[in-house]
């Protein structure tokens, strides 16, 4: 029941929110929903056994028996941190937008809640059908979000995002079908249960089939992640989305989740695991470097942050391909950390854009003098984003780099090269936008308001806390990655 509640509360409240009339009602409704999810998640967290990689809090109801579809929920150490991340940031996001004045607030909050429900659904689903349903459900609210409240190129960006990622989902669906039928053939009964299908993968006789299934699934995940060269939807969508939309994109950690939950257990049983590792590692490493360079070349602050997101997500694939428990858990942690960091980054961009009317870095300047609170939070976050130790970004990056180096030396070298570039664009942006002489033509900007300070401040504190003490989430990730690696031991990978 617990997981069902976590997934369904946002969805139900989304409908209720849609029915509200005023902004006050809508935001209150959204806050109630997100806070209840947070409370439930915290309850779940404290009742979760992080020493085992087994699925917990399972729920199972048969749905379409003739096709082997069931309503099957459950969480493990891979999903719980991401659920936690989502549950934590969402109420803060509502708070962040608390005083925003925008058209159709009821729809706005409703879409936020749908996104939350869908993302949580993906994390909880243990049935491929359900998984795919939630997976696709994330598309729609985000599409609306970008289309309605987005920037000047919102229509282009939203359609591009929608279709691009939809194509990827469909390819993934093909992979799911392949797996489904191959397993159906071997076992004689249809089932879309994720654990079942993952276990059956190795019994597929044809190596080519296994590879194709793997690649199709991988494609779906890495486009969502995204990873070079399938990223071109990202800068547009991230940039054109409203601030809340960008944050929702950031919290859309389903691509990486799929890689850990689905790809890694399959990896050793593909016909050519080394090739797959090479693909994943190379894509990850190149993304890191490429995203960093691209971020450096951007003039728009938000676009820069978007590319930096691409760069950071490279660690996820790289770490996953590293196949050492430290690297895999580091990559999982990177997802968690990235969610926190990028949330603030995009919130900052939104605040700056709103206060000054521009996001072009060169047009900004000296904002720290007028927005000291924002400056403090931003400096902290930028430091976290460039991988400063003591903050979450470092834990993740170090774990990925150190762990992956055991198996993938060349790619780690590429990734290391990006670190300086990463630092460069972060600092460059900070210097141009926040420091230096205040540009009077920006007008009389005011600092972030109380709600925004609270929202960003809490996330900033979490970045610091988990940077100093990652164990609360990293332990369960480690348990799971050790489990996954343990499964692979002796597979010659």
Partner 1 sequence: MAVGDYAFLIPLLPALAFVLTFFLGKKLPNGGAIIPIVAIATSFVISLLITLGLLQNPEQVINQSVTWFAMLNLGILVDPLAAVMLTMVTFVSLLIHIYSTGYMSHDRAQYRYFAETSLFTASMLSLIISDNILQLFISWELVGLCSYLLIGFWYQKPAAASAAKKAFLTTRIGDVMFLAGIVVLFSDLFRLYNGSIPEGVFILKFDEIFSQIPQLAAMSTPVLGFQVNHLTLITLLFFGGAIGKSGQFPLHVWLPDAMEGPTTVSALIHAATMVTAGVYLVARTFPMFMAAPDSLMVVAYLGAFTAIFAATMGLVMNDMKRVLAYSTISQLGYMMLGLGVGAAIGAEAVGISMFHLINHAFFKALLFLCAGSVIHAVGTHDMRQLGGVAKVMPITAATMIIGALALAGIGIPDTSIGFSGFFSKDAIIEAAYLFGENGGGWALYALSIAAALLTSIYIFRLIFMTFFGKPRTAYGGHEAHVSMTIPLSILAILALVFGALTMERFNTFVSETFVNNFVHMDIPGLAELGGYHLASHAGHEPLIILWLPVIVGVAGLLIAYLIYGLKVVNMDKLVSRNNPIYKLLYNRYYQNAILTNFLSVKVVYEGLAFAGRAVDTGFDWVVNWIGDVTMDTGDALRQLQTGVVQNYAMVVITGVSLLVILITVVMEVL
Partner 2 sequence: MDLMLFAPEITMVATGLAVLLIGLFLPVDSKKVLGYLASLGIIAALYLTIVSLGTNTLAFYDTLSVDALSQFFKIVFLVVALLFSIASIKYTEGSAHVEEFYVLAIFATIGMMLVASANDLMVLFVAFELASISTYALAGFEKKNPQSLEAAMKYFLIGSLSGALMLFGITFLYGVTGTTSIPGIADSGAAIAASPIGIIAVVLLIAGMGFKIALAPFHMWAPDTYQGAPSLVSALLAAGSKKMGIVAAFKVFIVALIALQVQWQIAFAVLAVITMTLGNVAALSQTSVKRMLAYSSLAQAGYITMAFVVLTPMALGGGILYALSHGFMKAGAFIATAAVVYMVLSENKDTKDPDHIDNFKGLGQRMPVTALSMTIFVFALAGIPLTAGYMSKFVLFSSTIQAGFAWLAVIAIINSAISLFYYAKIVKYMYFLPTEGTKVSEPLPYTIALVVAVIGVLAIGFWPEPFIYWAMEAGKVLLAGGI
Tell whether residue 161 is a contact of partner 2 (CB under 8 A).
no
Which of partner 2, partner 1, none lies near 143, with the C-beta cut-off 5 to 8 A by kind? partner 2
Stretch that binds partner 2, among 132-140, 265-273, 308-316, 326-334 (CB under 8 A): 132-140
In the DSSP assignment, the letter for residue 127 is: B
The residue among 40 and 140 lying less far from partner 2, judged by its C-beta, is 140
Which of partner 2, partner 1, none lies near 398, with the C-beta cut-off 5 to 8 A by kind? partner 1
Closest approach of partner 2 to the CB of residue 148, in Å: 6
The residue among 139 and 455 lying less far from partner 2, judged by its C-beta, is 139
The residue among 173 and 244 lying less far from partner 2, judged by its C-beta, is 173
Return the closest-CA partner of residue 330 out of 192, 482, 118: 482
Closest approach of partner 2 to the CB of residue 204, in Å: 13
Pair 386, 422: CB distance under 8 Å: yes
Closest approach of partner 2 to the CB of residue 201, in Å: 16
Closest approach of partner 1 to the CB of residue 207, in Å: 27
In the DSSP assignment, the letter for residue 125 is: B
Spatial distance between the Cα atoms of 30 and 129, rounded to a whole number of angstroms: 28
CB atoms within 10 A of CB 51: 10
DSSP string for residues in 209-261: HHHHHHHHHHHHHHHHTT-TTS-THHHHHHHHS-HHHHHHHHH-THHHHHIII
Which of partner 1, partner 2, none lies near 430, with the C-beta cut-off 5 to 8 A by kind? partner 1
CB atoms within 10 A of CB 160: 18
Which of partner 1, partner 2, none lies near 72, with the C-beta cut-off 5 to 8 A by kind? none
Measured between its terminal Cα atoms, the distance across the chain in Å is 39
CB atoms within 10 A of CB 387: 23
Which residues here bind partner 1, judged by CB under 8 A? 160, 163-164, 229, 231-233, 235, 290, 293-294, 296-298, 324-326, 329, 366, 368-369, 379, 383, 388-390, 394-395, 398-399, 401-402, 405-406, 409, 412-413, 416-417, 419-421, 423-424, 427-428, 430-431, 434-438, 470-471, 474-475, 478
The residue among 115 and 158 lying less far from partner 2, judged by its C-beta, is 158
Spatial distance between the Cα atoms of 352 and 270, rounded to a whole number of angstroms: 48
The residue among 23 and 483 lying less far from partner 2, judged by its C-beta, is 23
Pick from 12, 171, 360, 488 the residue near partner 2 by CB under 8 A: 171
* H or E segment to which residue 483 belongs: helix 471-488
Which of partner 2, partner 1, none lies near 438, with the C-beta cut-off 5 to 8 A by kind? partner 1
Locate all alpha helices (DSSP H) within 138-193, ordered by sequence: 139-149, 154-187
Q: What is the 3-state secondary structure (H, E, C) of 377-411?
A: HHHHHHHHHCCCCCCHHHHHHHHHHHHHHCCCHHH
Spatial distance between the Cα atoms of 64 and 69, rounded to a whole number of angstroms: 5
Cis peptide before 170 (omega within 30 of 0): no
Spatial distance between the Cα atoms of 313 and 213, rounded to a whole number of angstroms: 23
Give me the 178-217 binding string for partner 2, x by CB under 8 A, dash otherwise. x-xx--x---------------------------------
Closest approach of partner 1 to the CB of residue 490, in Å: 12
3-state secondary structure of 71: strand
Locate all alpha helices (DSSP H) within 47-127, ordered by sequence: 79-96, 105-124
The residue among 135 and 214 lying less far from partner 2, judged by its C-beta, is 135
Closest approach of partner 2 to the CB of residue 154, in Å: 8
Contacts with partner 2 by CB under 8 A lie at 63-67, 129, 132-133, 135-137, 139-140, 143-144, 147-148, 154-155, 158-159, 162-163, 166-167, 170-171, 173-174, 177-178, 180-181, 184
């Amino acid at each position: 029941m617990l997981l069902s509640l976590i997934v369904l509360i946002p969805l139900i409240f989304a409908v209720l929110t849609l029915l509200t009339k005023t902004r006050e009602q809508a935001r209150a409704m959204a806050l109630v929903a997100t806070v209840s999810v947070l409370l439930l998640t915290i309850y779940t967290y404290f009742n979760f056994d992080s020493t085992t990689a087994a699925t917990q809090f399972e729920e199972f109801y048969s749905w379409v028996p003739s096709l082997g579809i069931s309503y099957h929920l459950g969480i493990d150490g891979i999903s719980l941190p991401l659920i936690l991340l989502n549950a934590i940031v969402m109420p803060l996001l509502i708070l962040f937008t608390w005083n925003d004045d925008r058209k159709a607030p009821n729809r706005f909050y409703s879409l936020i809640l749908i996104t939350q429900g869908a993302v949580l659904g993906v994390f909880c689903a243990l049935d491929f059908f359900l998984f795919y349903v939630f997976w696709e459900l994330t598309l729609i609210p985000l599409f609306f979000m970008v289309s309605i409240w987005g920037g000047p190129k919102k229509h282009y960006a939203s359609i591009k995002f929608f279709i691009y990622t939809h194509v990827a989902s469909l390819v993934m669906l093909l992979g799911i079908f392949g797996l489904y039928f191959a397993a159906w053939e071997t076992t004689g009964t249809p089932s879309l249960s994720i654990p079942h299908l993952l276990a059956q993968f190795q019994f597929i006789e044809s190596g080519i089939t296994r590879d194709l299934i793997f690649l199709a699934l991988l494609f779906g995940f890495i486009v969502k992640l995204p990873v070079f060269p399938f990223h071109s939807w990202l800068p547009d969508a991230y940039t054109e989305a409203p601030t809340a939309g960008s944050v929702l994109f950031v919290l859309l950690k389903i691509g990486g989740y799929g890689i850990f939950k689905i790809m890694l257990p399959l990896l050793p049983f593909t016909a050519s695991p080394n090739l797959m590792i090479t693909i994943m590692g190379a894509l990850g490493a190149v993304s890191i470097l490429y995203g960093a360079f691209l971020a450096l070349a951007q003039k728009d602050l938000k676009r820069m942050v978007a590319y930096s997101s691409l760069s950071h997500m490279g660690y996820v694939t790289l770490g996953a391909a590293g196949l050492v428990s430290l690297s895999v858990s580091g990559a999982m942690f990177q997802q968690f950390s990235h969610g926190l960091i990028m949330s603030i980054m995009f919130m900052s961009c939104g605040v700056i854009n709103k206060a000054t009317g521009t996001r072009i870095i060169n047009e900004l300047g000296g904002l720290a003098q007028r927005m000291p609170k924002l400056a403090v939070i931003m400096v902290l976050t930028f430091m976290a984003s460039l991988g400063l130790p003591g903050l979450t970004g470092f834990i993740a990056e170090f774990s990925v780099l150190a762990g992956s180096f055991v198996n993938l030396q060349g790619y780690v070298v590429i990734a290391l090269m990006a670190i300086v570039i990463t630092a460069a664009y972060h600092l460059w942006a900070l210097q141009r936008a926040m420091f230096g002489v205040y540009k009077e033509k920006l007008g009389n900007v005011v600092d972030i308001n109380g709600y925004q300070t609270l929202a960003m401040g809490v996330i900033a504190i979490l970045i610091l806390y988990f940077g100093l003490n990652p164990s609360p989430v990293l332990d369960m990730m480690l348990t799971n990655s050790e489990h996954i690696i343990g499964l692979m031991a002796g597979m010659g990978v």
